[in-house]
Amino acid sequence: MQIRNDWTIEEIKDIYNTPLLELIYKAGTIHRQFQQTGEVQVCTLLSIKTGGCPEDCSYCPQAARYHTNVEVHALLQKDEVMEAAQKAQKAGSTRFCMGAAWREVRDNRDFDRVLEMVQGVNELGMEVCCTMGMLTESQAAKLRDAGLYAYNHNIDTSEEHYADVITTRTFDDRLNTLNNVRKAGISVCSGGIIGLGETHEDRIAMLHTLSTLPDHPGSVPINALVRIKGTPLQDNPKVDIWDMVKMIATARILMPRAMVRLSAGRSEMSISDQALCFMAGANSIFSGEKLLTTPNPDFNEDQAMFDLLGLKPRESFKDEKIMVG
């Protein structure tokens, strides 16, 4: 099977609507062809600048305009970040992702400090990722030069549903940043959230956008909405595990080489729920007691799950090692 960037909506709809067990089997088969089975990438998040964000993303606890329990915190110091990265690395994590509640990156002293953090974490031998909002081409180049491996920037939902979820920026703004990241030679990490009130067509359209980008993202996080008190989406229904499985399996079939990440929502999932996601082609998780601001399974819990399911953590920079060796 070839890697394709020309998927049509109709083709994706057919895959998405395949009877579920058949879909899991197909995705599992592709997973075996393109990925090392039994291997899961372990990533850890740290919120380096928390809350007070000017955007209105209706799912987000960090938007200043909603009254959530998130405590606002200015940009951390480099040594605090290094301590967290070292702790994550000791626990077996190979990718460290720093999140900032910014609309966009600005060329100021905070950005200079982030560049130093990127350099420091890269020197530990971890894959460094950032998620900080919109980026220009020259900012992306500076991050790359500092050692940034990946940049996370989710498209979140379909283009059509986007304005129902966020009004302070557009879907095109998102694509533009992804383009800047790609042009700088940084690995693109982009996915979305389910449970935002979207239809199945919206989910299919979101996967269409991701799988028809000039290059498939290196990683595709699939998040289940974490319902946060005080946000407009606080009373949305809990995401059904079968919907997560369907999204993961479809993403795996469309983008065979991507790391498909079972992202937010794991603390509300059983081990068997998560096992289904791994069978459907997920091969990456966030581990550590916190995502950005909400609880997540800690390293020990995940180690126990890995032992039970016979999974092992993926080593860092594996793609590069394959290319060289």
53 in active site? yes
Active-site hit among 95, 169, 203, 261: 261
Q: Which one, of 256, 255, 257, lies nearest residue 322 by Cα?
A: 257
Our CB check for ligand SF4 shows the closer of 169 and 203 to be 169
Residue 305's binding partner among ligand SF4, ligand DTB, ligand SAM, none (Cβ under 5 to 8 angstroms by kind) is none
Please state the closest distance from residue 297 (CB atom) to ligand SAM, in A. Answer: 15
Cβ 283 vs Cβ 260: under 8 Å? yes
Cα separation, 36 vs 295, whole angstroms: 29
- Local structure of 281: helix, strand or coil: coil
Looking at the DSSP assignment, which residues form a beta bridge with residue 49? 100
Contacts (CB under 6 A) with ligand SAM, residues 82-111: 99, 101-102
Contacts (CB under 6 A) with ligand DTB, residues 191-250: 191, 221, 223, 226
Our CB check for ligand SF4 shows the closer of 31 and 161 to be 161
- Side-chain-side CA neighbours of residue 324 (13 Å): 5
261 in active site? yes
Output phi, psi for 64, to 5 deg. -60, -30
Residue 63's binding partner among ligand SF4, ligand DTB, ligand SAM, none (Cβ under 5 to 8 angstroms by kind) is ligand SF4
Q: Does 226 bind ligand SAM (CB under 6 A)?
A: yes
130 in active site? no
Q: Which residue blocks in 147-239 are alpha helix, DSSP H?
A: 159-165, 171-183, 200-211
189 in active site? yes
Our CB check for ligand DTB shows the closer of 26 and 193 to be 193
Please calculate the CA angle 299-50-191 and round it to the nearest 5 degrees: 65
Contacts (CB under 6 A) with ligand DTB, residues 25-44: none
Our CB check for ligand SF4 shows the closer of 70 and 140 to be 70
Cβ 76 vs Cβ 128: under 8 Å? no
Number of residues engaging ligand SAM in binding (CB under 6 A): 19
Q: Which two tokens stand for residue 254?
A: 């469309």
Among the candidate windows 111-119, 174-182, 289-297, 299-307, which touches ligand DTB by CB under 6 A?
Answer: 289-297
Residue 50's binding partner among ligand DTB, ligand SF4, ligand SAM, none (Cβ under 5 to 8 angstroms by kind) is none
Residue 198's binding partner among ligand SF4, ligand DTB, ligand SAM, none (Cβ under 5 to 8 angstroms by kind) is none
Q: Does 284 bind ligand DTB (CB under 6 A)?
A: no
Contact residues toward ligand SF4 (CB under 6 A) are 53, 55, 57, 60, 62-63, 101, 103, 133
129 in active site? yes
Q: Which residue blocks in the chain are alpha helix, DSSP H?
A: 9-16, 20-34, 78-90, 109-123, 137-146, 159-165, 171-183, 200-211, 241-254, 271-279, 299-309, 318-324
Burial class (CB in 10 A: 0-12, 13-18, 19+), 312: middle
Task: Name the residue with tokens 């609507």.
Answer: 17
Radius of gyration of the chain (CA): 18
Q: Using CB under 6 A, which of 41, 131, 274, 316 touches ligand DTB?
A: 131
- Interaction site with ligand DTB (CB under 6 A): 45, 61, 99, 131, 152, 154, 191, 221, 223, 226, 263-264, 291-294
